[in-house]
Structure 1
Amino acid sequence: MDNFTAALSQVTDPFVLGVILVAAIFGLFVGAIPGLSATMAVALLVPVTFFMDPVPAIAMMVTSTAMAITSGDVPGCLLRIPGTPSSAAYTDEAYNMTRKGMADQALGASIVFSFVGGLFGTLVLITCAPMLANFALNFSSYEFFWLVVLGLSCAIVITPASQLKGFVSLLIGLLLACVGMNNPAAYPRFTFGNEDLMNGVTLLPMMVGMFAIAEVLRYAVNSQDRLGEVKAQIGNIFTGMWTLTKKYPASILRGSVLGTIVGALPGAGADIAAWMSYGMSKKFSKEPEKFGTGHVEGIVEAGASNNSALAGAWIPALVFGIPGDSITAIVVGVLYMKNLTPGPMIFTNNAVEMYSIFLVFIIANILMLPLGYALVKIARNVLRVPRSLLMPIILLFSIVGTFSINNSPFDVIIMMMMGLLAYVMEENEFPIAPAVLGVVLGGMLEENFISSMIKADGDFSMFFSRPIAAILGVVAILIWTIPIIKIFFGKSRPPSGGNEDPVTKPGITT
């Protein structure tokens, strides 16, 4: 209790509370701008932490991260342009709800269940950090390979129409992930002698292009204002949230648990957690046919997942100094800089600071509700802007935001090309979400496969040699083979109604 009281005194200091509020507003701003990410928000704050004590420095990073992940849902819902990569999993779902006049419910579900998932992850961080960290350390390259395969399987599950087209889109994403030298052999592939392609196709320019530029092209080609399809009025976003809580308790719990576990796995993070949760939501839903048309269930589960993953990523970072994602990789450096050495003894040697971090997590998630509400009230004015004015503004911000990532004009070219590719794909009913997922997971898939094959000396049976790897492998194989088996037996089953020769039926030829 002495440690908790001291931590409470530190966190409630007016300066620390002011830092939390400023960091929250900054995180909301960065997350709501397409092309900027929560990782970038944290990276920009690192120089500021040089002049701060440990508690306000860590509080700034925790708060800005939570807010950026949540606010990334707002442009995705209103404009079909995800603010952060973790919002891309359910952007189409949220935007379709907006077009049906249900933007308030979509935004409310994103904010409220991000809050719920964040609190769940924080509770697990407080109570089960050492246990989950030990579990995460059991994951070798074999387990990570199968985990990535399961994540890629979600690309097929979440495809609203043809699963074959979803598979083709996924292959396009995996092909784009092969570009450059970011492979185990560091060999330049598909660069065509262009040095700018050595670093591959960067995710953020690709994502901005496929969502934002494709939407601009679609408006330019169709030459019609689609604003009439969207109701500009957004009411109280918290109305009906309790009803959704009672209707989807299993989805909320499943998303929160999966997000925390995936977040605790080094290198996974909120992006993968959101994709996997959205895929699981459709797989276990009683109404899977509604997914992709503007159905809130996927947003409920994936929204809870991506914020619970944030707290989960801190578990291996604090207990072993192993970052769970790119954000905690930056945070670990700041911890060392502030003499908070990560490891099992950090909870003993720096108990007050650890309690302070836990309290900051709780405060940041609570602030998500009022500040998220205020953000929506401001952002809803976007729907009142005519598309003839809005689209050039989106194009301008997309170009500026993409250029600012690496100060590279080539990223702008990549963005434009990806926008054109996405436009052609969608005009032919190929979904773009699997392509984005392919780029997100393609590098991890190859790296873990090559590492595993080297360790196994080419023996593929070693992928099933460990208990967790065997379970994940069997599940992944079943997900891919069961639909094929159903199709095969469905075609081989004789037609109902007797033993008629199909050749003799009228209208049927051999």
Structure 2
Amino acid sequence: MSQLLDGFALVAQFDVLVAIFASAVYGLVIGSLPGLSATMATALLVPVTFYLSPIAAVATIITSSAMAIFSGDIPGCLLRIPGTPASAAYTDEAYAMTRKGQAEMALGIGLWFSAIGGIVGTLSLMIMAPTLAEVALNFSSFEYFWLALLGLMCATLVARSSPVKAIAAMLLGLLFACIGMENPAGAPRFTFGMTDLLGGIEPLPALVGVFAVSQVMRALAEAEPPPIPRRKFGSILAGQWTMTKRYPKPMMRGNVVGIIIGVLPGAGADMAAWVSYAMSKRFSREPEKFGTGHPEGLVESGAANNASLASGWVPALLFGIPGDTITAIAIGVLYMKGLNPGPTLFTERADSMYALYIIFILANIIMIPLGLIMIRLAATVLRVPRSAIMPVILMLCAVGAFATGNNLFAVTLVGFFGVVGYVMERNGYPVAALVLGIVMGSMVEQSFVTSLIKSDNSLLPFFDRPISAVLSVITIGALLWPVGAWLVRRMRRPSAA
């Protein structure tokens, strides 16, 4: 109890409270701008942490990342342009609710369930850190291969169009993921002699291009859509308690999925959002409503986003293993401030650990009032003429792309993927599956090749390890599910006749 009180005392210091508030506002703004991710928001804060106390420095990383993950939902909902990669999984669903005049409900769901997910994820960090970390340490390249492959199968589960087109789009994403020399052989592939392609295709320019630039192109080519029903933005949180009681299972499932995926090194909120949205559609009683503005998928994936963010700190704090890119940055800050990750951190610096738990909970609590203000400010976008907002979006895309690598080639990539996204959508191919292939492609290849090297080209370890065997059954089941459903329908049709 004394260590908990010491933790409260550390957080209650003036510089820590100022750092929490300032980084919260900063994270909300950065996350809501297309092309600027939560990872970038935290990376840009690192120079600032040099001048802060240890607790204040870590507080800026925790708070800004939590806020950015949530606020990435705002442009996705209002403009169909995800602010962060974690928002891409359910952008179409949220935008469909906006077109139905339910923008405030969609944004309220994102805000409310992100806060709940963050708090649940923090409780898991406090209670189950050693156990979860032990499970994560049992994951080798064999398990990561099946996990990444399961993530790719989400392309067929979340697609509203033909599964064949979804798989084709995913395979195109995998092809783009092969570009560069960041492969097990270290050999340049599909670079065509261009040095700019040696580093491969970053997911962020592809994401911005296929969602944002293609949206601008559609605005140029197509007539103005029917106006979104004009209505005053009332209480954004109105009805969220009803949603909580209506969808308790999706909410808890999203929390659990987010916690489990977050604790796995290299997974993070992006994969948690994709997997949880796909699971929501698979287990829903109304799967046909997904893609038409159905809140159930937003509830589950919104809860998973921030739950994975907190649980991603488990391997980071216990073993110095980053759960995602954000915790990789955080580990550097921890070492710089003398809070060296490891089991002794929980015994020798227990007050600092309690302070981190308190900061996580505090960040998710203040997310609600600050998020409400941000949503109300962003809602004015709905009343701006399209001819005025599209050039601003295009400029933000260019600035965000340039900021990712400080080179103009990233801006060119954004334009290229804008054309690709426009052509794909005109022909009914889901661009979300393309992005998923780019994000997961390198993980699938690296895990598969590494596993074959370790097993001397034997495939048996992919199936005889306990966790790997379970994941393989789930993945193969997800792959064969559409075929099985088609066969069942074919068998029932003659009997019905």
Q: TM-score, normalised by structure 1?
A: 0.95
Q: Given that residues 75 and 81 in structure 1 are in contact (C-alpha distance below 8 angstroms), is that contact kept between their aligned partners in structure 2?
A: yes
Larger Rg: 1
Q: Which residue of 2 aligns with 1:507?
A: none
Q: Which residue of 2 aligns with 1:503?
A: none
Q: Which residue of 1 aligns with 2:31?
A: 31
| Matching of residues 7-156 of structure 1 within 5 Å | 7-156=7-156
Query: Which whole-Å CA distance do the structure 2 matches of 1:317 and 1:62 have between them?
Result: 13
Q: Which residue of 2 aligns with 1:398?
A: 397
Q: Given that residues 225 and 388 in structure 1 are in contact (C-alpha distance below 8 angstroms), is that contact kept between their aligned partners in structure 2?
A: no
Query: Which whole-Å CA distance do the structure 1 matches of 2:74 and 2:86 have between them?
Result: 12
Query: Which whole-Å CA distance do the structure 1 matches of 2:224 and 2:232 have between them?
Result: 17
What's the CA shift for 1:489?
A: 6.2
What's the CA shift for 1:163?
A: 1.0
Q: Which residue of 2 aligns with 1:254?
A: 253
| Matching of residues 479-494 of structure 1 within 5 Å | 479-488=478-487, 491=490
What's the CA shift for 1:220?
A: 0.4
Query: Which whole-Å CA distance do the structure 1 matches of 2:429 and 2:447 have between them?
Result: 28
Q: Given that residues 230 and 383 in structure 1 are in contact (C-alpha distance below 8 angstroms), is that contact kept between their aligned partners in structure 2?
A: no
Cα-Cα RMSD: 1.4
Query: Which whole-Å CA distance do the structure 2 matches of 1:482 and 1:28 have between them?
Result: 39
Q: Given that residues 73 and 82 in structure 2 are in contact (C-alpha distance below 8 angstroms), is that contact kept between their aligned partners in structure 1?
A: yes
Query: Which whole-Å CA distance do the structure 2 matches of 1:324 and 1:242 have between them?
Result: 31
Greater mean alpha carbon deviation, residues 260-269 or residues 392-401: 392-401
Q: Deviations over 1:149-199 (max 9, x none)?
A: 111111100011211111111111111111111211111111111111111
Q: Which residue of 1 aligns with 2:5?
A: 5
| Matching of residues 359-508 of structure 1 within 5 Å | 359-488=358-487, 491=490, 495-496=494-495
What's the CA shift for 1:125?
A: 0.5
Query: Which whole-Å CA distance do the structure 2 matches of 1:319 and 1:191 have between them?
Result: 40
Q: Which residue of 1 aligns with 2:321?
A: 322
Query: Which whole-Å CA distance do the structure 2 matches of 1:231 and 1:196 have between them?
Result: 46
Query: Which whole-Å CA distance do the structure 2 matches of 1:152 and 1:111 have between them?
Result: 27
Amino acid aligned to 2:295: V
How many residues align? The count is 497
Q: Deviations over 1:417-468 (max 9, x none)?
A: 1111111111111111111111110000000000111111111121012100
Query: Which whole-Å CA distance do the structure 2 matches of 1:227 and 1:386 have between them?
Result: 12
Q: Deviations over 1:22-80 (max 9, x none)?
A: 01001111101111111111111111111221111111110001001001000110011
Moved over 3 A (4+): 229-233, 485-498
Q: TM-score, normalised by structure 2?
A: 0.98
Counterpart of 1:228 in 2: which secondary structure?
A: coil
What's the CA shift for 1:2?
A: 1.4
Counterpart of 2:234 in 1: which secondary structure?
A: coil
Identity of aligned residues (%): 53
Q: Which residue of 2 aligns with 1:295?
A: 294
Query: Which whole-Å CA distance do the structure 1 matches of 2:488 and 2:380 have between them?
Result: 54
What's the CA shift for 1:396?
A: 1.5
Q: Which residue of 2 aligns with 1:157?
A: 157
Greater mean alpha carbon deviation, residues 471-480 or residues 253-262: 471-480
Query: Which whole-Å CA distance do the structure 2 matches of 1:453 and 1:6 have between them?
Result: 50
Counterpart of 2:312 in 1: which secondary structure?
A: helix
Query: Which whole-Å CA distance do the structure 1 matches of 2:386 and 2:495 have between them?
Result: 53
Q: Which residue of 1 aligns with 2:168?
A: 168
| Matching of residues 147-296 of structure 1 within 5 Å | 147-222=147-222, 224-226=223-225, 228-229=227-228, 231=230, 233-296=232-295
Amino acid aligned to 2:243: L
Q: Which residue of 2 aligns with 1:501?
A: none
Q: Deviations over 1:205-256 (max 9, x none)?
A: 111111111111111011x222614546432210110110001000000000
Q: Given that residues 225 and 386 in structure 1 are in contact (C-alpha distance below 8 angstroms), is that contact kept between their aligned partners in structure 2?
A: no
Greater mean alpha carbon deviation, residues 358-367 or residues 393-402: 393-402
What's the CA shift for 1:404?
A: 2.0
Q: Which residue of 2 aligns with 1:356?
A: 355
Q: Given that residues 118 and 306 in structure 2 are in contact (C-alpha distance below 8 angstroms), is that contact kept between their aligned partners in structure 1?
A: yes
Counterpart of 2:291 in 1: which secondary structure?
A: coil
Structure 1, unaligned runs of 5 or more? 499-510
Closer/same/farther in 2, CA of residues 244 and 490 from structure 1, 3 Å limit: closer
Query: Which whole-Å CA distance do the structure 2 matches of 1:390 and 1:132 have between them?
Result: 45
Closer/same/farther in 2, CA of residues 401 and 482 from structure 1, 3 Å limit: closer
Structure 2, unaligned runs of 5 or more? none
Q: Deviations over 1:106-127 (max 9, x none)?
A: 0000000000000000001011
Q: Given that residues 35 and 396 in structure 2 are in contact (C-alpha distance below 8 angstroms), is that contact kept between their aligned partners in structure 1?
A: no
Q: Which residue of 2 aligns with 1:505?
A: none
Query: Which whole-Å CA distance do the structure 2 matches of 1:459 and 1:209 have between them?
Result: 40
